[in-house]
Amino acid sequence: MLLRPVKAEESEDFDHFVGQHVHGDPLQGWGFADLQAGKGRMPHRFYLMEQGRPIGSLSLIAADMGRLGLLLYAPRGPVLDPGQRILWRHLTLELRARFPQAFAFFCAPRLDDRLPRPPGYLQRGTQPLLPRVPRATVEVPLSGDPALDFGRVQRRCRVRVRRAPARGVKVRAAGTEEIGTLLGLWHGAGEAPSLAATPAALADMVGAFLERGQARVFLAESQGSVRAATVALSLGRHALCQHLGQDGAGQYRQAAYAAQWAAIAWAEGQGAERCDITGFRTRDDANLGDLARRWGGVERRYALLEVPLRLGPYIGYRLLPTGASGRGPAPATAEAR
C-alpha cells in the first residue's frame, strides 16, 4: 500500500471518493481539515493506493505538541475498513516513515462489532483534539423515500413530529448570518454537541460546511423565538445530523423532533443512504437503544484509538500531569486491542 498525496485541485474528486465509500463520513472530507489549517494544524490528504488504484483515503491533521513532536489526527479514522488489520499495520509503518517527528497516530473509526478491531490502543480519557467524537451514536438507514422512512420510526416519535406544527412550531432553513442563534441554544442544551467542544469551533465548522454546500441548519420557531435547532452535514452517501439544543422551557420539546426530522429528510434528498443522528437528546431519552428504536436506527460505536509511532515521546505524553488537553488528569495507560 502507498500513501499518495492529494493535490488541491483534486479536492472535488477527494470529496466524491469519501462520499461514495462505504466507510466514508462528512468529517473525513476536504472541508473539515481546512478548518484546522487556520488553527495552526497542518492538514495532509492521501489516497491509500493498492495496485495503482485508490482503496481508501486519509484526511490527516498534524498538531504540534511542542517538545513531544507531532500528534497525527484523522477525524473518524481513515476511509478504510477497520477489520482489515493488515492494511492498518501497513498504514502505521508508512506514517512512521513519512512523519518521523510524529509520536502518535490518533483516530476514531466507526466499528462493526462483527469484525475484528483495528490494531491500536483504546483511550479511556478525554480526546486531546477537537472535535470530540462520540463513543456511541445512532445511525439511521435511509431508503431514498422520506415517506417510507418516516413510517418506519416509532409511533410516539411520529406523533411528536406531527404535533409540533399543530402547536405553532415552524421549521425553516437558516443562513450563515444566523449562526449566532445556534450559539445561544448551545448553553441551553443538556450536553455539549459532540461536533465541537466550544461555541466558536461550532460556528467555524457550520460556516465552513455551509460555504461548501455540504450543510444545512434547521431552526424550529414558535411565537417569534427559536425553540430548537439541528445542523445536517451531507457528503455523498453519508450524513451527520447534530441536535444543537432547545430552549429550557420544556413545553416545546416537540420542536426538537421537528427540526431533527427536517434535517434527516434534507440529507435523504441529498442522496444520503445513512444518517448519523449523534447528539440528539431529550430529557426522557433513557439510552441510545431507546433513541435508535424511536428513529428506526441502530447503535453504532466508535473506537478512540492511539497508535504510538515513537514510544519514548508517547510515554511522556501519557504521563503529562494534566493530560494533553489540559482539562484534567491524564488518561490511564491505554490497553492494547
pLDDT at 316: 82
**In the predicted model, is pLDDT for residue 116 greater than 70?**
no
pLDDT at 179: 72
Q: What pTM value is reported for the model?
A: 0.83
pLDDT per position as a tens digit, 290-312: 888 889 998 888 877 888 898 88
Distance, in Å, from the CA atom of 152 to the CA atom of 298, rounded to the nearest integer, reads 13
pLDDT per position as a tens digit, 242-272: 877 777 654 556 888 899 999 999 999 999 9
Distance, in Å, from the CA atom of 192 to the CA atom of 313, rounded to the nearest integer, reads 31
Mean pLDDT, rounded, of the chain: 80
At 142, is the pLDDT very low, low, confident or very high (cuts 50, 70, 90)?
very high
Distance, in Å, from the CA atom of 205 to the CA atom of 214, rounded to the nearest integer, reads 11
| Cell numbers 511542542: residue | 66
At 24, is the pLDDT very low, low, confident or very high (cuts 50, 70, 90)?
very high
CA dist list (Å): 291 to 144, 163, 283, 301 = 21, 19, 12, 14
109 or 333: which carries more pLDDT confidence?
109
**Is the CB of residue 38 less than 8 Å from the CB of residue 27?**
no
Over pLDDT 90: what percentage of the chain?
A: 35
Set out the domains of the chain in order of their start, with CATH numbers: 2-133+304-336 (3.40.630.30), 138-300 (3.40.630.30)
**In the predicted model, is pLDDT for residue 103 greater than 80?**
yes
Q: Retrieve residue 153's grid coordinates.
A: 420510526
